[in-house]
Every structure is written in structure tokens, then in C-alpha cells.
Structure 1
Amino acid sequence: MLRLWVWPFLIFASALVSGVATAKPAPARIVAVGDLHGDYDAWEAIARGAGVVDAKGKWAGGSTVLVQMGDVVDRGPDSLKIIHQLMRLQREARSKGGQVIALVGNHEAMNMTRDLRYVHPGEYLAFTDRDSEARRSRIYEANKTAIEAAYRSRDPKMTAEAIRAAWIKETPLGMLEHQSAWGPEGEVGKWVIGNPAVAKVGDSLFVHGGISAKYATMSLGDINLAVATALKRRDETPASIINDGAGPLWYRGLVTREPGDEATVAPVPAGAAAPLTIDQEIDLVLTHFGVKRIVVGHTPSLQGIISNPGGTLWRTDSAISRAYNGKLTYLEIVGDQATSHEVTRPAGKPWG
């Protein structure tokens, strides 16, 4: 995809928001829901099953703290519908003494940095309006010279008609509106920037991917500030905290260690001769943040929600979306007790 010529008119700046997202005092009940990937029907079934929304989709959780673990988007068609409901629930829960925390996942960061590999066609369609086709044509004409030059740099023999047809194919209706909304000053982009990457609620730490030894010496506020800053800048550099395999949005090393997978390669702590084991790294994070358990998404498990033997690491990504057809689950934490729950998947056909 020719990003350079699709996006030149989408230049944004944003006021930085970086909440630590710590609920004080510890709530009586916490509900954590894993990666949703555009499946609104699954999300609705889970939210109702957990008692945090009523039949009309309004907040019914009272003082419950709901944590959505990130990766609302991509792979399914109804991401925007889920996002809009989470936005509304954040307001409604606050007025009822509860809280809704929506974590930043790696797929939210990908959408903000224009990595659209996993965007479902239905996600673009959700952003269309009656002016979308005319808007796309206007943008093409405004950037025609640059677009033609870009295509001909790859194939000098391309005609103007062929170039326009290729660009239209690579720019489906709704894509331009989608990326405008996902810009730092767009409706969705501002919301994502204002959400935390890591949240401490009571004696539990919530993060989409995981906290590696590389970031385990930072405070919650510093991690969230770094993520928000990178999102605001749409930072595409590999070393950025939002792209780093050892960073909080991508790291799987608290779950597994796989040779060749940079997101599972544990960094060597300063002054150490070798990486920590999984158990040692979990203990490091627990001690640094003063918590009893770490709750993550990102690494799917078709078995449902699972924990390590000591109950210090809980995995909530149960492949909820119909893109994976896993189990519909949520994790409930009441006092010192963490319990996984499963609800029935609503009837529906797999997506194309």
C-alpha cells in the first residue's frame, strides 16, 4: 500500500493524556475481558454474562471495575461498534461508582501507526457516509500528480487509468475516514491515547502483552506516558515502546519463550549475565509494582482463560473473536479469589 500518498492530508497533533489508571481503594469486584477483535456479538454476550451491562447495553455493573485488555480492533467487522460502547460505558460507570478501563493493545497501536494488515473490510465500511465516494475522488484528484509518480516509480508503463484503478482498489471506501478517525486528533485516536497501556487495580496488574525486565523498573505513569507519546507521534520505529517486542503491547515472555520470536525473548537485566526465567521475571514484576497477580491478553489460548500454577499470571485471551472461534470468557476477581467464567457463543456464521 502506498502510505505516502494516501495519508498526506491527514496530519494531526494531540494534547497528551496519560492516566495511571489505578483504582483506589481496591474495588470489591473486577471483571477482565480479553481480546475481542471486532466481534461485537461475542463482546455483548460476555458483558451481559458478567452482569456489567443490561439488555439495552447500558452499564449495570454498579461499583465493578471492568478492564478490557486491548485488541478490540482488527480481524472482525464491528470494532467501531465496540469502541463506541466502551466510550459510553466509561461515562456511565463513572456516574454509578464503577470504572471501565480500556487498555491499549498492539492492534490499537498498529491502527494508529497505519499498519492496516489485519483490518477487516467491515471496519472500513463502518466509517463510510454518503460523501465517501466523492471524498475519495476529490482526494485522488488533489494528489494525482504525486500518486502517478509513485506508481510509475514501480512501473513506468502504467497508464493514468490503470494507476487510478489501482489506487481506488488499494483505498476502499471508508479507509480514508478510518485513518482520519484513528489519527491523534481523531475521535478514536484521542480515545486510545487517553487510555492506559498498564493499569494497577487493587493487587492486580493489567497489561495487554506483558511487562519484561526491560520495563519492570519504570513506574506505571512513565510507561503510560511513553506509550501515549509514541501513539501521539504515530511512531513507527522498531525501538519505540509501542513496537518493541519486549514492550508492554507485544511481550509474550511471561507466557512462553520461543527461539526466533522476538516478542518472547527475555531481555537481560542490567548487571545480569543471562535473562531471567519466566518465574523470575514474573516475580520481578510482582515485586516492583506491589501486586499479587499479573493479568494479560495478547497470547491466545483455545482452552479458555488459564493461569500459571501459582496463580500469579492469568491469560485472558481465549480467542474470543469468531476470527478464531475460541471460548467466550471473562475473569472475575473478588478479594483474593480469581475465577474464570465462560458464556455461550451467540449463533452466527464465521466471517469471510
Structure 2
Amino acid sequence: MYINKKLVLGFLGLFISASSMAMFNDGPYFFSEKEGYRVELICAGKERSFYLQVQSHIEYCGQRMALELTPNPPQVSQIEGAFPVAALSDIHGQYDIMIQLLKANKIIDENGNWVFGKGHLVITGDIFDRGSQVTETLWYIKWLEGEALKYGGGVHFLLGNHEVMVLNGDLRYLHKKYLKAASLIGTPFAQLFSKKSVLGQWLRSKNVVIKINENLFLHGGFHPNILGFKTSLKEINRVFRAELVADELGVAERSKLGLYLHGTNGPIWYRGFFSNIDSEVLSKILTYFNASRFIVGHTSHSEVVSRHFGKVIGIDSSIKLGHKGELLIIDKGVFWRADMQGQRVKLHFDEQ
């Protein structure tokens, strides 16, 4: 863990063990009010609540923490350009592993600052659940998103099934720390990410799929049934966002496309790329979206893998287990597996 000297993120005291559960820290959770923000946080197991005018820092559990409260940047469904791309998935609250991967592979420097220039970093979902470092991961990625834009680059956090589960109140995989935090704050955990919260607004702005050059990034995959909708990536993202939280639709019901997108064969749940999809059908889906390959998470492997002769790349490298992980790096048309020491191995597109 590090403190960014420029931003002073202030997350050193966040981590807990089973024996120190009563002394854990969590937050901050910001909620928009008329003249500023209501802030909820927990320090050393004690809840604090106060109001704050718009400012750039907050004293958080003995640390001075930088805030990224600016409006969410517009989301795009397609980007093209001659720049490097790094991608990872399924962080599941393992902040330390994410930071080590980004540092070792020159995405950020030792102080956590963006050094990837005009490059683009893609996270294909699942920051939430399982681990105990979810909140700090969300705030850091939100901040890094703004920093990358300053240098002509980009950070693209796509929604995965665990983001959607939490926003819809399905907490079956939630770390016990967050159940305790919600209890102390006196708010159901999902409501800490409501439409009035800064992080909740940010999550609701996110895409579920993005195409970068010839690569389609998403969490799970596209079932062949997607072809029957004759839709576009832009429309998929629009409908997915608009129908993201079922309880917020009021008396309305999800549309036919929305039901599909949020269903078991939708882009956040589908696992068929690694089991039973026919290679010719896979090619038809790619051709429809004018792409060469899918780059997805959701299905866990011990490393970054290639399937269907490079038409599918799996980037869920089991970071969630808390031991290690890998990045995919695409640079000048070459695909690399990159580890936590910054070592690269060329990814071959032979059938596996």
C-alpha cells in the first residue's frame, strides 16, 4: 500500500483481519445534498456522519484523502487509435494486487500517478464482493479515470455481474466487513450506492461493453441470441444503464432487450465462450460487430488465456483469490500476458 504524495489517498488504515474486525475503517460514502454532501464513514469501528461543502480533500481516519467529485465523464462505446491497451478483470476487492499489477507494468508510478500516457486501461467488471478492499478500489479507479484523461488516455470500468447484484440488493457474496459497515451507518448496503451517492451515480454511468480498435471488451460475453436483436453497442449500453436497477424502474418493466441483457445469457453472466459455443457462430457475432475478438472476464483461469485461435481472450486471472494476478497488454498489435513483477509473455493464439 502507498500514499500518493500528490493526492494523499489515505487508505493505509483500511485493511482488516478477522481478529481486528471491531477496529476496521470503511468509506467514505458521499451523498449529494442541496449545499454540499452528507458524508458517512467508519474509523476504528466507530461511525461518523457530517456535512461537507464542495472541496477537494477530506480528513479520513487520520489521513488527508483526495476526492474526485467532478461530473462523470461521458461514456463511449467505441474508440480507435494507435495506443497501447491494458486490461484486467474481477478484482473483487483485492486492491493491493491491482495496485502491484498497475505499478509493475508501468500503468501507474510508485506514487499511484498515471504514467500510461495516451494508453487505455480497461477493467471488465467485478470490483465488488468477496474481498475487503472494495471501497478504496472504487475511489481509486474513479480518480484514475480523471487523471488518464488529462494525458489523452482513458480508464474504462465496465459493469460486471457483481456490480449489478449489489445495486439490486443481492449481497450473497459480500464480505462481512461491509455488512458490519452498513449496520453501523444504519443504511442497507445497496443504498450506500444509491442514486444520491457519488459512487452510485458513477456506477450508473458505466457501460457494459466497449470496442477498442478490433477488440470487444465486456464482462462475460455475447450469447448468439444477441444477433436476433439487430442492435448496436451504443444501444446495448443505453438500455443496460437505463434498466440497471429494477427497483428504480417504478411501475415500468424491463424491455425485451433489457430482460435479455440482464438475464442469464446476457453480457454480464454468459460463460459460453469457454464451454459450448460453436466457432462458426462465434465468428458470426464478431463479424456483426465488425470485431476480431472478445476480451472478457467472469470465467476464472490461473492466467490470461486464449481460446478459439485468439477470437476469445480470458482475462479473469483469479485475482479474487488474493494471491496473484495478470494483465493483458496490447501494444503495437502484439498481445502479452503481464505479471505482478512486470514480466511479459507473448500470448499465442493457438487453440487451447
What TM-score do you get using the length of structure 1 for normalisation? 0.69
Higher share in strand: 2
C-alpha displacement at 1:338, in angstroms? 1.3
Deviates more, 1:333-342 or 1:196-205: 333-342
Change (3 A) 1:121 1:27: farther
C-alpha displacement at 1:312, in angstroms? 1.2
Change (3 A) 1:256 1:201: same
2:144 counterpart residue number: 89
Distance 1:27 1:68 in 2: 19
C-alpha displacement at 1:282, in angstroms? 1.9
2:232 counterpart residue number: 219
1:308 counterpart residue number: 307
- 3-state SS of 2:178 partner: helix
Distance 2:337 2:178 in 1: 30
2:78 counterpart residue number: 22
Distance 2:105 2:143 in 1: 18
C-alpha displacement at 1:336, in angstroms? 2.4
Structure 2: runs of 5+ lacking an equivalent? 1-30, 32-70, 343-352
Structure 1 segments of 4+ aligned residues over 4 angstroms from their partners: 15-18, 232-239
Contact 1:212 1:281 in 2 (8 A): no
Change (3 A) 1:319 1:235: farther
Q: Which amino acid aligns with 1:107?
A: H
Change (3 A) 1:27 1:183: farther
Change (3 A) 1:295 1:235: farther
Matches within 5 A, 1:129-140: none
State which of 330, 335, 339 in structure 2 corresponds to 1:338. Answer: 335
Q: Which amino acid aligns with 1:255?
A: F
1:59 counterpart residue number: 114
Change (3 A) 1:180 1:235: closer
Deviation per residue, 1:303-342 (Å, 9 max, x gap): x11001411100000111235x4x4100011232211111
Matches within 5 A, 1:37-116: 37-116=92-171
C-alpha displacement at 1:82, in angstroms? 0.6
Matches within 5 A, 1:1-352: 19-24=75-80, 26-124=81-179, 128=181, 172-174=183-185, 176=187, 178-216=189-227, 217-234=230-247, 240-241=259-260, 243-257=262-276, 277-302=277-302, 304-322=303-321, 325=323, 327-344=324-341
Distance 1:225 1:52 in 2: 29
Contact 1:32 1:316 in 2 (8 A): yes
C-alpha displacement at 1:187, in angstroms? 1.9
C-alpha displacement at 1:281, in angstroms? 2.9
Change (3 A) 1:121 1:70: same
1:260 counterpart residue number: none
Distance 1:71 1:241 in 2: 20
C-alpha displacement at 1:116, in angstroms? 0.7
Sequence identity (%): 27
| Aligned residue-pair number | 265
C-alpha displacement at 1:51, in angstroms? 1.1
- 3-state SS of 1:254 partner: helix
Q: Which amino acid aligns with 1:295?
A: I
Q: Which of the pair has more CA radius of gyration?
A: 1
Deviates more, 1:307-316 or 1:238-247: 238-247
Change (3 A) 1:89 1:21: farther
- 3-state SS of 1:172 partner: helix
Contact 2:164 2:245 in 1 (8 A): no
Deviation per residue, 1:115-138 (Å, 9 max, x gap): 01111122356xx5xxxxxxxxxx
RCO higher in 1 or 2 (8 Å CA, sep ≥ 6)?
A: 1
C-alpha displacement at 1:241, in angstroms? 4.2
Contact 1:79 1:123 in 2 (8 A): no
What TM-score do you get using the length of structure 2 for normalisation? 0.69
Q: Which amino acid aligns with 2:293?
A: R
Deviation per residue, 1:22-65 (Å, 9 max, x gap): 223x2420000111000001110111122111111121111110
C-alpha displacement at 1:177, in angstroms? 6.3
Distance 1:107 1:100 in 2: 19
Distance 1:334 1:300 in 2: 24
Alignment RMSD: 2.7
